Amino acid sequence: MQTSVWSRIPIELAREIASHNADDMSSLRSMSLVSRTMRATAIEHLFSSVHFACAEDFPWWAEMVRRTPVLGAIVKRAKFSSVRWCRRRKVLPSWSKLNRAAVPPMLESLPNVRMVQWDVCDTLNLEMAVAYLALFPNMTELRVMRTTFDSWHAAARFFSACGQIKVLSLVDTAVRSEEADGPPLGTGLIPAFGALEVLSITTLTYSEEYVARLLEEYPPRSLKTLTFDSPRGWYENPIRLTSLLLIEKLLRLGTHSLVNLTLESTFLDKEWQLDSAANNKFIEMLRMLPVFPALTVLTIWLGPNHQARRMLSALAAPALTTLIFRIGLYGEYGDQDHISLTTILDEVFPWSGSDTESMGSFLTCRFPSFGRLAFHFCVYIDAEMHFNVSLRRAMERDLKERLAETGADVRKYMEAPWRWEGSYSEPETEASDDESDSRSSDGSESDSPPKGS
């Protein structure tokens, strides 16, 4: 019998083929029939990420692992999401919400999972959440999205089940009450934030104080990256004055270890107008902070004002080498986006009221190690602007011309790439879930945020 050439394919080539077809399930299924090598490689890509959207998913997965035990060791990422995902795709005849899943779980632990995303919009069942998060003892990255805890104590219990996490992302997450109700946290129920290196907070909410409280009581030893973000920059979900105390507390926690910092630049009032008093308090707070000796990368969302320059004048970071300005754009309305960009550029530049000090001179004098300046145009990953090359080039020219005509003198440091949405990213294999759909066939709204990279 003649042997197929596919049965002798080198494992490196098999992995390369599988990686290029990671989001093409039919191709991967076909590949698994070619040879044992291709089967193993295809399975590795098919099951590197698992997605639980309803209570029925758990016994289904348990049965799959019982039949093929190797699956339990293949999974690297896990996602918990709302039952709306099932409703939009009608993948099951009936389903129950995740918060109704059996406790204790009937699943074996998944020791090789490193990243977990919790995006369950339904009412939080704390007992269920703690039990299922404990299935990932070696988790190092946790992303919690659109979750509301009943109390600070509930939040502490939730994070206590997550082990020694190094990366924590909080997106639109809050608590209803800041009171530390409930019994004291016992042994094994204390959040292990000591190893935390990366913290990202997106869309600051009305009750974000619990974050500072958790980290103050269980402080990280070496927080290297801290990000305060909002999905579109200064004009959508802007920071409010109530967030100032949280920002200050977290900055002080990372004073000696922070390497990478991302900050909003503009406070707005309840009428969405620039809040001068809050902006002044923000600058004064930055001025009162101690020196950040390890900080090398600073990212600031630009707004139509001189707040960014004031921030750089107030922040003490002698080792800073890279400054990134993010410009948030909708990406769907070409003319309006162009006007928004022009408004920002006209307000930000000229950089200083002084005719003698250029932007380049200011940066090199203020930060002796400075050597890179980037302007990132940030739009949604599926925005039409990514396909409108002429508009993008026109906006790039506007930026460079405005810098030149105002004597910024930063040409040798500057780059201006286009970026996807800047605030968070989906797990790498999530593209196959097609979660960018905004409506289902029955017209119900999608609960998925816009995807980023």
Residue 120: what pLDDT? 82
Mean pLDDT of 368-397: 86
| Three-state SS at 148 | strand
Residue 407 backbone zone (phi > 0: left; psi -120 to 50: alpha; other: beta): left
The string of DSSP letters for 391-430 reads HHHHHHHHHHHHHHHTT---GGGEE--EES-SS----GGG
Tokens 């930000």 found at = 348
Looking at 1-113, list the stretches that DSSP marks H as alpha helix, in order from N- to C-terminal side. Answer: 11-20, 25-31, 36-46, 57-67, 71-74, 84-89
Residue 81: what pLDDT? 87
Single-letter amino acid, residue 264: E
End-to-end CA distance of the chain: 48
Higher pLDDT residue, 206 or 387? 387
In this predicted model, what pLDDT tens digit does every residue of 45-97 receive, in sequence order? 778 889 898 888 899 899 989 988 888 899 999 999 876 666 555 555 667 88
Give the Å distances, CA to CA, from 173 to 78, 156, 176, 384, 426: 19, 13, 10, 29, 17
In this predicted model, what pLDDT tens digit does every residue of 97-123 receive, in sequence order? 888 898 999 899 999 999 999 998 778
Give the Å distances, CA to CA, from 433 to 13, 63, 85: 26, 22, 9
In this predicted model, what pLDDT tens digit does every residue of 279-295 receive, in sequence order? 888 899 999 999 999 99
Cα(77)–Cα(116) distance, integer angstroms = 6
In this predicted model, what pLDDT tens digit does every residue of 27-38 receive, in sequence order? 766 766 767 776
Residue 203: count other Cβ atoms within 10 Å of its Cβ: 23
Is pLDDT of 299 > 50?
Answer: yes
In this predicted model, what pLDDT tens digit does every residue of 310-336 receive, in sequence order? 999 999 999 999 999 988 887 666 678
Higher pLDDT residue, 197 or 93? 197
Lowest mean pLDDT among 5-9, 156-160, 192-196, 427-431: 427-431
**Residues of the chain with pLDDT > 90: what percent?**
31
Give the Å distances, CA to CA, from 286 to 283, 308, 310: 5, 12, 10
Is pLDDT of 381 > 70?
Answer: yes
Residue 423: what pLDDT? 38
Higher pLDDT residue, 270 or 171? 171
State the average pLDDT for the chain. 78
In this predicted model, what pLDDT tens digit does every residue of 209-219 receive, in sequence order? 788 888 888 88
Give the Å distances, CA to CA, from 75 to 50, 94, 131, 276: 7, 26, 18, 50
Please report the sign of the dihedral spanned by the C-alpha atoms of residue 355, residue 358, residue 363, residue 366: negative
Residue 6: what pLDDT? 46
Give the Å distances, CA to CA, from 230 to 55, 76, 283, 422, 437: 32, 28, 19, 9, 21
Contacts of 307 (CB under 8 A, 6+ apart): 265, 266, 279, 282, 283
